[in-house]
């Protein structure tokens, strides 16, 4: 009888041990099961914005950005929604910080569709001294923004917007939307020397101003002779510069309204109105492209050769 009682007590202890083990395993598996269920239901992962600082990188979720104490609600003019959206946003300068390596004078903004805008860090810093103030607008998944014009996607999850853009003459290509990453970098001409006009170009030559226009307005989508970070549009030097196969009137028409010249279903370029690109800037841009065509083809001694840029 005593042996039976001892056996029963021992079996009870074993049973309790197995029950504790099984409960522990269930508790451990609950997070995994929960995660699997979320994925199986097709719920999207929370958007993340990466910020590269040379060898290091910070990553911020949408909720982390919206929870910052400096987050604000603001409306802006010049955005893709034409002042119709109130954005929840955080100041870009505060997010980036002011302590960066001296050779990093540019913020490279990468978008989901391959668009890459090269924004001078000095332009962002001007917001602290009366200039245009840059913000990262954050889309709330529960309350998404409207679709982009003629598209099904929104400008989210992250959109670089500017308050009072006229104060610092912010260009249209300096409002990148659908952002995925911001990175500190050297200026485009330092990284890609082939973007620079020849050293003997006159200081007041239109082509020098055209170089600035190209970097601001064209480089986000186009490379030039391999220089640049985006492949959204074709390289404007390889295999030929557009001044070598287009008349000047045709080139200007494409820049102003590409769909009026040629159109196809997957076309992305929308063109530049005079509000976005003045006639003076367009003149300078054409001069820059012609100068680069001549330099690339080695035609400086024979400028009348049509292969060096059409007249």
If you average pLDDT over each of 22-36, 87-101, 288-302, which comes out highest? Answer: 87-101
Residues 139, 198: one domain?
no
- Check pLDDT > 70 for residue 21: no
Residue 267 belongs to domain with CATH number:
1.10.760.10
Query: How many domains are contained in the chain?
Result: 2
Give the strands of the sheet with 87-91, arranged side by side: 72-74, 87-91, 133-138, 158-163
**5/102 Cα distance (integer angstroms):** 81
pLDDT for 16 equals 56
Confidence of residue 44 (pLDDT cuts 50, 70, 90): low
Which pLDDT band, with edges at 50, 70 and 90, does 33 fall under? Answer: very low
Q: CA–CA distance from 169 to each of 7, 76, 133, 173 (Å)?
A: 88, 14, 12, 12
In a domain? residue 227? yes
Residues 114 and 180 in one domain: yes
Mention every residue, 6+ apart, whose C-beta is less than 8 A from residue 150: none
Q: What is the mean pLDDT of residues 198-212?
A: 97
Are residues 85 and 173 both part of a single domain?
Answer: yes
Residue 284 lies in a domain: yes
Name which residue leads in pLDDT, 260 or 91.
Answer: 91
Q: What is the pLDDT of residues 107-159, one digit of tens each?
A: 999 999 999 999 999 999 999 999 999 999 999 989 999 999 888 999 999 99
Same domain, 171 and 148: yes
Asked if residue 5 is part of any domain, the answer here is no
Mean pLDDT in residue range 244-252:
95
If asked whether residues 102 and 58 sit together in one domain, one would say yes
Residue 21 lies in a domain: no
Q: Is residue 53 pLDDT above 60, yes or no?
A: yes
Q: Note the pLDDT of residue 19.
A: 52
Q: How do residues 218-227 score in pLDDT, each as one tens digit?
A: 999 999 999 9
Residue from 185, 188, 16, 159 nearest 78 by CA: 159
pLDDT of residue 39: 43
Do both 168 and 264 map to the same domain? no
Has residue 9 been placed in a domain?
A: no
Instruction: Tell me the whole-structure pTM to 2 decimals.
Output: 0.81
282-291 pLDDT tens trace: 999 999 999 9
The answer to whether residue 1 sits within a structural domain is no
Among the residue ranges 58-62, 82-86, 100-104, 172-176, the one predicted with the least confidence is 100-104
Give the rounded percent of residues in the chain with a pLDDT score beyond 70.
81
Task: Please tell me the predicted confidence (pLDDT) of residue 8.
Answer: 45
Q: Which domain holds residue 267?
A: 191-308
118 and 227 housed in the same domain: no
């Amino acid at each position: 009888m005593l042996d039976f009682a001892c056996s029963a007590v021992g079996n009870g202890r074993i049973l309790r041990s197995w029950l504790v083990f099984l409960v522990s395993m269930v508790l451990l598996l609950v997070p995994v099961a929960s995660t699997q269920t979320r994925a199986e239901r097709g719920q999207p992962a929370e958007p993340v914005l990466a910020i590269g600082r040379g060898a290091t990188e910070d990553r911020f979720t949408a909720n982390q950005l919206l929870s910052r104490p400096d987050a604000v609600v603001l409306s802006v003019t010049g955005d893709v929604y034409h002042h119709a959206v109130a954005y929840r946003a955080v100041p870009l300068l505060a997010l980036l910080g002011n302590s960066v390596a001296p050779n990093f004078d540019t913020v490279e903004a990468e978008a989901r569709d391959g668009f890459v805008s090269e924004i001078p860090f000095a332009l962002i810093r001007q917001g602290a001294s009366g200039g245009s103030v840059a913000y990262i607008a954050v889309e709330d998944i529960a309350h998404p923004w409207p679709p982009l014009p003629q598209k099904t996607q929104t400008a989210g999850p992250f959109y670089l917007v500017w308050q009072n853009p006229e104060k610092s003459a912010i260009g249209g290509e300096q409002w990148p939307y659908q952002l995925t990453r911001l990175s500190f970098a050297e200026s485009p001409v330092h990284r890609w020397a082939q973007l620079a006009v020849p050293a003997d170009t006159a200081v007041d030559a239109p082509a020098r101003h055209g170089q600035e226009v190209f970097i601001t307005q064209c480089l986000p989508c186009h490379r030039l002779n391999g220089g640049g970070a985006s492949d959204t549009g074709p390289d404007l030097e390889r295999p030929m510069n557009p001044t070598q196969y287009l008349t000047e009137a045709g080139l200007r028409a494409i820049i102003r309204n590409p769909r009026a010249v040629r159109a196809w279903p997957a076309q992305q370029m929308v063109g530049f109105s005079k509000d976005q690109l003045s006639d003076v800037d367009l003149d300078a841009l054409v001069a820059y492209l012609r100068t680069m065509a001549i330099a690339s083809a080695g035609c400086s001694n024979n400028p009348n050769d049509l292969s060096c840029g059409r007249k």
